[in-house]
A and B are shown apart, each in its own frame.
Chain A
């Protein structure tokens, strides 16, 4: 069964610090990887996606992909209170636009 794991509990970080989120996936054939942010009561909004091994940066966000280890992470630099949300990792296992989501990690940025 294709799985996406986000095992960490709620993450509290002080304002200005780096928040680090991790995600592992079960299928080595996975092709693309997405990070979404979801505020309470709102729908998910895409932060960024990554296809290739290595790092991809977009503003304060950096996604890191290691296909050999089946691992994708998200770093949030200079965390702001507005970054307080649940972060969802999603993986395209099937190559046909269908996404499998992890359970999400809640991030709380403390002013």
Chain B
């Protein structure tokens, strides 16, 4: 299955600033997914990032707040802009894992970025 390197693993940021989270995958993938996990909650999909096109955002999430880049098939970034304490969450990227002959192995997650906004 795909291996994802996500960084930073954690950060403490001042309100009003921005943080960019990076995900690097060890294989080429068509779609990358960005999730948020608020304290004690489950995962909520923020957006889907395809290479060469604008990301598709879920209801409640907007590009100005969470701009995403997808410059190639192995890399993506998510920026959390103009942060407030409500943005304190774990942010995770995810990809579909495929093996030989495009066999499906499920969805793999990065190790997550624990963001605290003060």
A interface residues with partner B (beta carbon < 8 Å): 34, 42-46, 48-49, 88, 90, 96-104
Contacts and interface: CB of A to CB of B under 8 A. Distances in A.
Nearest to B58: A98
B43 A98 contact: no
Given A43-B109, A44-B109, A103 B96 contact: no
Given A88-B43, A98-B33, A98-B48, A43 B112 contact: yes
B42 A101 contact: yes
B117 interface: no
Closest 6 CB pairs of A and B: A46-B106, A43-B109, A101-B43, A101-B42, A43-B112, A103-B42
Given A97-B96, A98-B33, A34 B107 contact: yes
Interface string B20-38: 0000000000010100000
Nearest to A104: B42
Contact of B43 (A42, A44, A48): A44
Contacts of A48: 106
A99 B94 CA distance: 10
Among B33, B41, B43, B44, the one with the most A-chain Cβ atoms within 10 Å of its Cβ is B43
B41 A103 contact: yes
B80 to A, nearest CB: 17
Given A34-B106, A43-B92, A49-B106, A99 B111 contact: no
B68 to A, nearest CB: 15
A102 B42 contact: yes
Contacts of B31: 97
B28 to A, nearest CB: 15
